[in-house]
Amino acid sequence: EDQVTQSPEALRLQEGESSSLNCSYTVSGLRGLFWYRQDPGKGPEFLFTLYSAGEEKEKERLKATLTKKESFLHITAPKPEDSATYLCAVLANSGGYQKVTFGTGTKLQVIP
């Protein structure tokens, strides 16, 4: 069974204090790993897709990396507007079709 685990569950940072969020996965036939941010009461906002181990992508203060077992979302010098729940999901082959499995998310709070 595909599993996606995110850690920590919640994280509080001071503005400017860099940190990393982790997404560990156990799937067969990985086709892609997605990172999203979700604000309360809204749908997830797409951030990145990573397709193979060693791949990295950056967007403003965010950088996502991927290995064969996990992905990290690095947040450099975060600002209060970065506060949100960050979700990772994997797209994998499952029983003849493709399935998306989400982690439970990391709730990030950035304090001014």
Partner 1 sequence: GAVVSQHPSWVICKSGTSVKIECRSLDFQATTMFWYRQFPKQSLMLMATSNEGSKATYEQGVEKDKFLINHASLTLSTLTVTSAHPEDSSFYICSARVGGTKDTQYFGPGTRLTVL
Query: Which residues contact partner 1 (rule: CB under 8 A)?
Result: 31-32, 34, 36, 41-46, 49, 51, 87, 89, 91, 97-105
For partner 1, which is the closer residue by CB, 18 or 52? 52
Cα distance between residue 28 and residue 97, in whole Å: 12
For partner 1, which is the closer residue by CB, 43 or 54? 43
Q: What is the number of alpha carbons within 13 Å of residue 43 lying toward its C-beta? A: 1
For partner 1, which is the closer residue by CB, 53 or 77? 53
Cα distance between residue 16 and residue 9, in whole Å: 20
Q: How far is the CB of 109 from partner 1 (least distance, A)?
A: 14
Q: Tell me, what DSSP letter sits at residue 11?
A: E
